Chain A
Amino acid sequence: MKFTLSWLKQHLETTASMDEIVYALTDLGLEVERVEDRSVKLADFIIGKIISATKHPDADRLKVCQVDTDEGNRQIICGAPNAREGITVVVAKPGVYVPGIDTTIGVGKIRGIESFGMMASEREVELSEEHDGIIELPSGEVGDRFIDWLVENDSSKVDPIIEIAITPNRPDALGVRGIARDLAARGIGKLKHASTPSLEGGFPCPVSVSIDEDTLEYCPVFFGRLIRGVKNGPSPKWLQDRLRSIGLRPISFLVDVTNYFTYDNNRPLHVFDADKLAGNNLRVSRAKGGETLVGLDEKEYKFAQNMTLISDVNGVESIGGIMGGLRSSCTEETVNVFVEAAYFDPIRTAYTGRALKINSDARYRFERGIDPSFTPIGLDLACEMIMEHAGGEVSSRVQAGTIPSSTRAYRLNAARVQSLVGMEIPESEQRQTLTALGFRLDGDMAYVPSWRPDIMGEADLVEEVARVASLTKLVGKPLPRVISGVPKPVMTPMQRRQQLARRRAASLGYNECVTYSFIDQGAAVLFGGGIDTTKLENPISSDMSHMRPALLPGLLQAAARNQARGFMDLAMFEVGPAFHGSEPGEEHLLVSGLLVGRTGPKDVHGASRLVDIFDVKSDAEDILAAIGAPAKTQVFRGASEYWHPGRHGMICLGPKKVLAVYGELHPRILEEMGVQGPVMAFTLWLEKVPSPRQTGPNRGAFTVSDLQAVERDFAFVVDAEVEALTLVSAANSADKTLIEDVRVFDEFLGESLGEGKKSLAITVRLQPRAATLKDTDIEAVAQKVIEKVNKATGGVLRG
């Protein structure tokens, strides 16, 4: 919402400075977004008079002028063709900043002659684009400030413009009068009396109006008057200036009047060229669906059922509360005008406007709620203004429907301001504030003014009082603790788990990323998503059309971007939600990481190597350990198709409960996503890890044996596809109390073993509990290990 200072002063009697007004507006909740005040830039320019102008001895186009100023006679060199003796000019003395040329004037020599200032053109002081000569003022005293002369003689040029943001609850502030009322309540001046129209119709209105019974809820009241014999044309200068200053283009007087009332009083109006209306009735009705109208914006609109339309015999002429039609609009030639003032329902207007995608000043106001009681008054004021400038004769007022009642009252509980806001404001001041805002107080009941649809309860009264008193006066008051003493932990176990997983992954050398929750359909499909349920209805681009089914596609895209920047060795991870459906809660928490390239740049120690699956396996195991996952897990194959079929494993608790997957990603996926592989990756399902049993912080007794542990190595020849874990489990089962650990320390594939065979070497650590082991004991366990391994894998001891 934009307005100028002089416009505001039309409604508000005030001596407050711009700074005071701007501060008060923002503080009242009418946040000032921008102020354009020319007077600040022009403050230092003064009026002078050229006493003499002679040709510069060394330059044909320059003149040496003697200029009378507030500091006496000054010599100024000037190149303007109109610089001559006797004219009144605008002078910038040395030290003055000239905005139009972005220069601060200094004392200088021009072609050998000293110059003590400058005489300005309109462009140089940014009043217009005029630069053919310096400004010649028709009046003005030497030494006066130019800005004061402008205020006196051409005020619209220096009228400060204020732009404020209006929150949806304040339709009344979409008119300058509403803004003035707020300021007056704050004590910034006095609200001027509103003019009351006294219009007598000279003849019956030839156009009647009607509202269909079923449309009264959408348009409860509709007023109109016809003015015949008007002379349309350009608006008077003051009106044009006013509209221009707030960024509106003057069109013709009749149209400008409607715009003026829209901004002055938050009262949208519509003017029909009465000669273009067919029949003698305007009917307000619900659209049946399928009707069309070419609007004032020259676009054709097609209506859906229940939109509010205004029609004549020809059909639709206007969209109620939103936009008029082109066919019956006023032009320069209009002589008979029908002026409409109606009240349209906010909700209906919002739905219709949204469906038709029309953003008009009228829609903006009707959907927020205008003052219904002002409807006939606004109509009459507009008609008066039309006749004052364009002449004509006005008809009587026609009316359909009745003004909807907005009468309601709430109890003013003066103590509520103290208990809800925490500010102490005397009751008398509270009542004074409400009265100034237009409330009528009857005992302790406050009757809401018809222009405040947002006031719907006691809390709103408190808000008004506190807002006008200024929330800056609020003094903070400690919020006591709920329980005294040391605060309790506040994170849930799952939040703690996320934090641990995140910090563990970072400590393993991964950089944490946060990527968008939506990705393109192609990538989503590759990772098991991309279905219609997880599609966004209105994505901002096709790159972000589907909720991500996993974190890996986002990380892969990030990897591709980094590779494109020349970074080939990557370790990245993300902790966050992925989506398996579109109902609330159909999301699950993942940790995914990926490794690409080498473990580091090539180095003098030869330690750099390509990353491999055992890097991500170890990282996944570390993170699982960090969040307290059980140490005993199984590894299965058969995860999603985006993994390399032979190079991935699922870390599981039983065949169905997958805690994590690690492995190499499928080369085809990488190709489709434009990533240079191979890529090693892992994903952990944070919520699948079982919560540790509640045992408290106690770690259990520390029991160690003083007896010497014994280690024995075995090498088995097995079929190449036998998995190490099977062999280790078999060896472990040989003696559950004695065997403390089984570790694979070598894998060997060689022709000497025979086709399709390999050798796996393990170390078995035996920890005696009761007595030192004798050779026979060790031999017995060793024999058991060999049997168990043979039974489980068919492996035999390597000869």
Chain B
Amino acid sequence: MDDLKEKYLPRIADALDEAALEDIRLAAVGKKGEVALKMRELGQMDPTERQIKGPILNALKNEILSAIAAKKAGLADTALDARLRSEWLDVTLPTRTRRRGTIHPLSQVTEEVTAIFAEMGFSVAEGPRIETDWYNFDALNIPSHHPARAEMDTFYLNRAASDDRPPHVLRTHTSPVQIRSMESTGAPTRIICPGGVYRADYDQTHTPMFHQVEGLAIDKDISMANLKWVLEEFVKSYFEVDDVDLRFRASHFPFTEPSAEVDIRCSWENGNLKVGEGDDWLEILGSGMVHPKVLQAGGINPEEWQGFAFGMGIDRIAMLKYGIPDLRAFFDSDLRWLRHYGFEALDVPTLHSGLSR
């Protein structure tokens, strides 16, 4: 028996491929193989001999079969290894390029502002960009001779000679939306009105179109102290700081009374703004208690209702928060600028996940 073992095991070990292994299998343990022939001989043996030889032959058969199986697996591994060795790739090659889109900072910041004020119960109102002079001026307590009209650098729409109405204007602020909103919803109300506004001015720090967000809250007992709280909460949330110091400074707007300019405490480091610390004050918005005449113009009884309004530049707060130096670049659509200052498509600002990443 040992001769068979010595004959086949080395052959198995030396087999070069699966076909050779199959030949060996047939020669050894196939139906006509040597081991099978020996097994056939068992029938002619006496029981005692058979009891001894039988198990030995079976063991031999099993040993050969498992050697073949092991060799087979070894050959497959070798073949796979060889294939994989040939499948080497330069993985440092660049990918197929995919364009990466961006969201304009104005859209992003408008969403940030909306998220914050939504939390405080303000909904979003909108109005037309071409306005009548009544909504843009008169209703806001700016009669036609008022010096503020001349100071606003208003764009006027062309008027046909046959049309003797005063010319329409491109809204100079988002405040006319206040009036339209008061007319349609009455009091109480809490709205913000973000959107584009226009003034005929173009230099380093002015563009003929820019963006504002207006806020309006009207109720029975809203006071300027509530306004201050709302703005404090807004500034903290928007600039993502824990503390903020707001300074109200007496001022004048025709549509509010009393009126205040609002400054925030800040410091500047290498052109970067830090809110809530330092010794500088930065003017960020105008505000006040809605003028009784404005409430009247919006169809709300000033004897019964009162409230506050404020307005700030979206472009401006975007520049402050994200360190964007030049307002004019907002509207130039320079691809490099859009990529540098733009935001990820899926980076929707929310209060629960954070406004900025």
Interface membership of chain A positions 310-343, coded 1 if the CB is closer than 8 angstroms to chain B and 0 otherwise: 0000000000000000000000000000000000
Q: B122–A490 contact, CB under 8 A?
A: yes
Taking the closest CB of chain A, its distance from the CB of B169, in whole angstroms, is 9
Q: A536-B157, A562-B333 are in contact. Are A487 and B119 (CB under 8 A)?
A: yes
- Nearest A residue to B202, CB-CB: A540
Q: Which residues of A sit under 8 angstroms from B8, Cβ to Cβ?
A: none
- Chain A residues numbered 437-470 whose CB sits less than 8 Å from any CB in chain B: 454, 457, 459-460, 462-463, 466-467, 470
Q: Which residues of A sit under 8 angstroms from B157, Cβ to Cβ?
A: 533-537, 547, 582
Interface membership of chain B positions 260-295, coded 1 if the CB is closer than 8 angstroms to chain A and 0 otherwise: 110000000000000000000000000001011000
Q: State in angstroms the CA–CA spacing of A477 and B22 once bound together.
A: 92
Q: Does B126 contact A (CB under 8 A)?
A: yes
Q: State which size class the interface on A falls in.
A: 35 or more
Q: State in angstroms the CA–CA spacing of A218 and B256 once bound together.
A: 29
- Nearest A residue to B101, CB-CB: A506
Q: Does B258 contact A (CB under 8 A)?
A: yes
Q: A471-B250, A512-B103 are in contact. Are A572 and B145 (CB under 8 A)?
A: no
Q: B97–A31 contact, CB under 8 A?
A: no
Interface membership of chain A positions 563-584, coded 1 if the CB is closer than 8 angstroms to chain B and 0 otherwise: 0010100111001110100111
* Listed residue (A422, A583, A600) with the most chain B CB atoms within 10 angstroms of its CB: A422
Q: B248–A471 contact, CB under 8 A?
A: yes
Stretch of A114-122, A125-133, A162-170, A739-747 on the interface side: A162-170
- Nearest B residue to A498, CB-CB: B107
Interface membership of chain B positions 86-129, coded 1 if the CB is closer than 8 angstroms to chain A and 0 otherwise: 00000001111111111110110001001001111111101111
- Please pick, from A367, A471, A489, the residue contacting B249 in the complex, using a CB distance under 8 A: A471
Q: State in angstroms the CA–CA spacing of A510 and B98 once bound together.
A: 11
Q: Which residues of A sit under 8 angstroms from B96, Cβ to Cβ?
A: 600, 603, 605, 607
- Please pick, from A367, A495, A512, A577, the residue contacting B147 in the complex, using a CB distance under 8 A: A367
Q: State which size class the interface on B falls in.
A: 35 or more
Q: A459-B292, A585-B128 are in contact. Are A517 and B225 (CB under 8 A)?
A: no
* Listed residue (A483, A514, A601) with the most chain B CB atoms within 10 angstroms of its CB: A514
Q: Does B37 contact A (CB under 8 A)?
A: no
Q: State in angstroms the CA–CA spacing of A490 and B198 once bound together.
A: 26
Q: B129–A489 contact, CB under 8 A?
A: no
Q: Does A561 contact B (CB under 8 A)?
A: yes
Q: Which residues of B sit under 8 angstroms from A666, Cβ to Cβ?
A: none
Q: A476–B130 contact, CB under 8 A?
A: no
Q: A512–B224 contact, CB under 8 A?
A: no
Taking the closest CB of chain A, its distance from the CB of B344, in whole angstroms, is 8
Q: A423-B225, A607-B96 are in contact. Are A511 and B118 (CB under 8 A)?
A: no
Q: A422–B145 contact, CB under 8 A?
A: no
Q: B124–A367 contact, CB under 8 A?
A: no
Q: State in angstroms the CA–CA spacing of A575 and B223 once bound together.
A: 37
**11 pairs, A vs B, C-beta closer than 8 Å:** A168-B254, A169-B254, A421-B258, A477-B223, A482-B121, A483-B121, A515-B331, A538-B155, A567-B336, A575-B107, A584-B130
Interface residues of A (CB under 8 A from B): 26-29, 31, 167-170, 346-347, 350-351, 354, 367-368, 418-423, 454, 457, 459-460, 462-463, 466-467, 470-472, 474-479, 481-483, 487, 489-492, 495, 499, 502-518, 532-541, 544, 547, 555, 558, 561-562, 565, 567, 570-572, 575-577, 579, 582-587, 599-601, 603-605, 607-608
Interface residues of B (CB under 8 A from A): 93-104, 106-107, 111, 114, 117-124, 126-132, 135, 145-148, 150-151, 155-160, 167-168, 170, 188, 190, 196, 198, 200-202, 208-209, 217, 221-226, 228-232, 246-252, 254, 257-261, 289, 291-292, 306, 330-336, 338-339, 342, 344-346, 348
The 4 closest A-B pairs by CB, nearest first: A422-B225, A509-B99, A29-B250, A476-B229
